[in-house]
Chains A and B, each alone.
With several copies, the nearest count.
Chain A
Amino acid sequence: MTVLPRALDAEKVRADFPILDRTVRDGRRLVYLDSGATSQKPRQVLDAEREFYQRHNAAVHRGAHQLAEEATDAYEGARATIAAFIGAPPGEVVFTKNTTEGINLVAYAFSNAATAGPGFERFVLGPGDEVVVTEMEHHGNLVPWQELCRRTGATLRWFPLTDEGRLDLSGMDELLNERTKVVAVAHQSNVLGTVNPVRRIAERAHRFGAVVVADAAQSVPHLPVDVTELGADFLAFSGHKMLGPTGIGVLWGRAELLAAMPPFITGGSMIGVVHMDHTTWAEPPQRFEAGVPMAAQAVGLAAAVDYLTALGMDAVAAHEHELTCYALERLAGIDGVRVVGPLDAEARGSAVSFVVDGIHPHDVGQVLDDQGIAVRVGHHCAWPLHRRFAAVATTRATFYVYNTRADVDALAEGIGQAQRFFGTG
């Protein structure tokens, strides 16, 4: 007997999101299908942030008075909550402003290591070394590695994609080899929805001692993620995509790697001892959190994690899976619509990107917007991926805990409306 996950009651969830009550474009119901860009926030998250500011606000780790103690407790408590959410010890969780900063933090460690002195040799990178990404990466997990290669003389290589929108692993044995020092891969694609076999890639990469970075911006919000099971060495994600505030993200890293990693942003609160002519570093995670941190946002993100935990991440994933299946089915039923990405919902999240014959995505998006349906159009910060599929741009719908089958219906009808308007349907 298998235990079914608790079902998610999207109508009940919706009541927690004040913005979903508003109308757009002269009285249309808001159909928000752009959670892949950023999610909406429940009242509980906004309340937690406000409560922090109104009761406990102070600079964390910097004061000896009661407010400072409370603020520090709130901030470190948030770290513990978020760490538990991904199955990690709190000391392995570094707060960043977003996924992008987290990935840059790791990338800069590899170039800073050259001059960082003893203890940081593990991260030194140079000509002859290889950094491997994939052709489906978000710019946030591509450009930092291009730049790292530029700074160090290392070579960037990448996994190609299959026509279906999966990683083509057929060349993996050649691609990952003794020269490989870093492998950076999206856990879930923000365009194709594809969930990548991070563990399989990590197993091979680890044979050569390479460091494996998973871009989890689109997975941690949508799937149960356990860092031990995933098998990567670093994991980066953003609060704003998982019901949390803007301005906060997380970098998880294995303790032994964090300890061997030179700092990125330097300044207050990340130091050991400071002299005019030399400075030593604090232990992780403080080493990577220079300056007064985003305490209120950490507290807000912990509230978001509590909210998701109460729903159950299995239930969240199952809910999205159902909407994805339904969306793929409805879109398959419309002539002239081509989905870019896997057509079946196995190992696939809820990003559904598509092109409509004869109508540019901007125009599709405009007609949808006119009906209150918020989607994203363009290359979604994955320009090489779009080139690979010979699309200048796509229209993308993404689903989350507050979306319903009615939202999928609205999308399908909206596409029909666009086809009628432009005379192609």
Chain B
Amino acid sequence: MKLEAMYQEIILDHYRNPHHKGLREPYDTEVHHINPTCGDEVRLRVKLDGAGGDARVVDVSYDSLGCSISQASASVATDLLIGRTVDEGMRIAAEFTALMQSKGEGEPDEDVLEDAVAFAGVSRYPARIKCALLSWMAWKDATAQTLSADPNASMEERVS
């Protein structure tokens, strides 16, 4: 059974008890991302303080429909992102994306990714990578929109 390699305890814990879940005020931008192959969705809000890469991520809140991997990933993402600067967050997101694309060969840096290292096993299952990335994509999108203050884009359905 290789199931445990994918569904590490950490993942199941975050899935059962997600952190920072629920949509909160105040926020700058809300996005709605959808995985077109399975229909999973996340609504995610970002509140920043400051401008550019040095802006601080004051809050990330979300509501989502999806599988254990996408739920746990959203929970882990908020843990990692809240309180960082945008630049730091983007670096972590890049590291996590690289891990997901590593086909099980990645050697995650626990100092950077913390609980997110538990997703290493997911990268062996191509169909699940999008689940793990859904909320990260949404966060990147919402953050970019906030920084460029594009008022239109916020509420439309986006496909990750």
Contacts and interface: CB of A to CB of B under 8 A. Distances in A.
Interface of A: 25-26, 61-64, 68-69, 72-73, 271-273, 280, 282-283, 360-363, 366-367, 370, 377-379, 383, 386, 392-393, 421-422
B55 interface: no
B104 interface: no
Given A68-B127, A73-B126, A272-B157, A379 B1 contact: no
Interface in B1-40: 1-3, 6-7, 34, 36-40
Given A273-B34, A362-B131, 11 more contacts: A61-B37, A69-B126, A272-B157, A280-B157, A360-B67, A361-B38, A362-B38, A362-B69, A362-B128, A366-B125, A366-B128
Nearest to A383: B39
A273 B67 contact: no
Given A272-B34, A273-B36, A360 B159 contact: no
Contact of A64 (B34, B36, B125): B125
Contacts of A283: 159
A386 to B, nearest CB: 6
B65 interface: yes
B37 to A, nearest CB: 6
B83 interface: no
A235 B36 CA distance: 28
B59 interface: no
Contacts of A73: 126
A69 B40 contact: no
Chain A's interface: helix, strand, loop or mixed, by majority?
mixed
A269 B136 CA distance: 23
B101 interface: no
Given A366-B6, A383-B39, A273 B128 contact: no
A61 B38 CA distance: 11
The bracket for how many chain B residues form the interface is: 20 to 34
B154 interface: no
Question: Counting chain B CB atoms within 10 Å of each CB, which of A283, A377, A393 scores highest?
Answer: A393
B153 to A, nearest CB: 13
Contacts of B65: 392
Nearest to B131: A362
B52 interface: no
Contact of B159 (A280, A379, A386): A280
A81 B82 CA distance: 42
Contacts of B39: 378-379, 383, 386, 392-393
B66 A392 contact: yes
Interface of B: 1-3, 6-7, 34, 36-41, 65-69, 125-128, 131, 157, 159
Contacts, number: 74
A271 B36 contact: yes
12 contacts: A25-B2, A62-B37, A68-B127, A69-B125, A72-B126, A272-B159, A273-B34, A360-B67, A362-B40, A363-B69, A370-B2, A379-B38
Nearest to A381: B37
B1 to A, nearest CB: 6
A62 B159 CA distance: 16
A378 B65 CA distance: 12
B103 to A, nearest CB: 10
Contacts of B37: 61-62, 378
A392 B131 CA distance: 14
Contacts of A69: 125-127
A61 B129 CA distance: 13
Contact of A361 (B7, B67, B125): B67
A25 B6 CA distance: 13
Interface centre among B38, B68, B157 (most CB of A within 10 A): B38
Contacts of A25: 2
B128 A367 contact: no
B67 A363 contact: yes
Contacts of B67: 360-363
A205 B40 CA distance: 37
A380 to B, nearest CB: 10
Contacts of A378: 37-39
Question: B67, B125, B126: which has the most chain A beta carbons within 10 Å?
Answer: B67
A422 B3 CA distance: 11
Contacts of A26: 2
Contacts of B41: 392
A63 B37 CA distance: 9
Contact of B3 (A272, A367, A386): A367
Contacts of B36: 271-273, 282
Nearest to A272: B159
Contacts of B66: 360, 362, 392
A361 B39 CA distance: 11
A33 to B, nearest CB: 16
B157 to A, nearest CB: 5
A72 B129 CA distance: 14
Contact of A282 (B126, B131, B159): B159
Contacts of B159: 272-273, 280, 282-283
